[in-house]
Structure 1
Amino acid sequence: MNKAFVKESDNEDDDDLPQTLALPAGTKNYITPEGYERLRAELTHLMNVERPSVVQIVSWAASNGDRSENGDYLYGKKRLREIDRRMRFLTKRLDIAEIVDPEAQPNRDQVFFGATVLYSDKAGEDHKVTIVGVDEAEPLAGKISWISPVARALIKAKEGDTVVLRTPGGIEELDILEVSYP
């Protein structure tokens, strides 16, 4: 079917991707050396492996004739747009990244970027989190973004301190049990 008869735009798949966490205005994109290398490796893989492979498939599919109902061609073009969008995102994030090495932290008794913190909540449950950059946060793996409410409450605290965490459910106190750096 001709595109003139179908309501769709060239950027229709922009809504398919999850929204990335925006940095607060005026802040830097802090990232650990490991996180930076992971993003750089992903960008290199997309540029050198995935994109050329998809371009080859699209080229082959285009040579088969009618493109309007050619699944390989249509899917390949969509995948190329996804790859190009991710490459632009990674390039921008890497350009503004400020690498912070947690091992170089002089105040190792205090919570800063890169610290691993063991804390106890009011229910008595212990939680262990590592404060990392926005692009490397994995809450289920215990890696929280430095701009998250928990990290903001923990920053600058020391072992033995009690910090206040403001949540939608009310105020919660967290007891810092241990602060460590890699």
Structure 2
Amino acid sequence: MDRIPITTEGYARLKKELEKLKTIDRKEIVAAIAEARSHGDLSENAEYDAAKERQGMIEARIAELESKMGRFQVIDTKSLSGDKIVFGATVTIENIETEEQKNYKIVGPDEANISNGTISIMSPLARALVNKKVGDEVLVVAPGGELEYEVLEVKFN
């Protein structure tokens, strides 16, 4: 069984989501299904169909989170330091060709969100960055082609 790396913050967020799904969302969907049933014929009841579909999505998410909770390897990024890029590091990189700079924090796959500036440790970019230092150039082989970056900063929050 493979371990899944996750920050303490990411773990807390997913644990909170699981609790909400089990204690609040489940009860709300049961009430919505009961309300839809009270409207009569279920074969042509769009409210009932939508509520049952939502219930299926909630139960699937609960099962997914419960399955992963035991496999998470929680890493406290506050205790990390150094000059090499590792899981939990926040990096500033510059595209050598376009001179565009970007900041990313390297996190677990379940908490990665590119629009929030977090990338998965499993992504091609993060894999290329691991163990690099400020001043290193990195060649990233991505689905869209090869990109070359320079590491400008490595920090740990």
| Structure 1 residues 28-39: aligned runs within 5 Å | 28-39=3-14
Distance 2:147 2:51 in 1: 50
Give the secondary structure class of the aligned counterpart of 2:62: helix
The one-letter code of the counterpart of 1:129 is: Y
Alignment match, 2:87 = 113
Alignment match, 2:43 = 68
> Please, which of 31, 34, 38 is the counterpart of residue 56 of structure 1?
31
Distance 1:40 1:168 in 2: 33
Residue pair 2:90, 2:155 contacting (<8 A) in 1 also: yes
Give the secondary structure class of the aligned counterpart of 1:68: helix
Distance 1:153 1:61 in 2: 52
Give the gaps of 5 or more residues in structure 1: 1-25
Give the secondary structure class of the aligned counterpart of 2:133: coil
Alignment match, 2:156 = 181
CA RMSD of aligned residues (A): 1.7
Percentage of identical aligned residues: 38
The one-letter code of the counterpart of 1:120 is: E
The structure with the largest strand share of the pair is 2
Distance 1:87 1:160 in 2: 44
The one-letter code of the counterpart of 2:48 is: Y
Deviation readout 1:89-114 (Å, 9 max, x if unpaired): 11112221110111122x42110001
Q: CA deviation at 1:60?
A: 3.1
- Could you state the TM-score of these two structures normalised by the residue count of structure 2? 0.91
Q: CA deviation at 1:147?
A: 0.7
Give the secondary structure class of the aligned counterpart of 1:59: helix
Residue pair 2:84, 2:133 contacting (<8 A) in 1 also: yes
Q: More deviation in 29-38 or 167-176? A: 167-176
Distance 1:126 1:146 in 2: 19
Cα 1:59/1:168, change in 2 over 3 Å:
closer
Give the gaps of 5 or more residues in structure 2: none
Give the secondary structure class of the aligned counterpart of 2:110: helix
Distance 2:38 2:141 in 1: 60
- Could you state the TM-score of these two structures normalised by the residue count of structure 1? 0.79
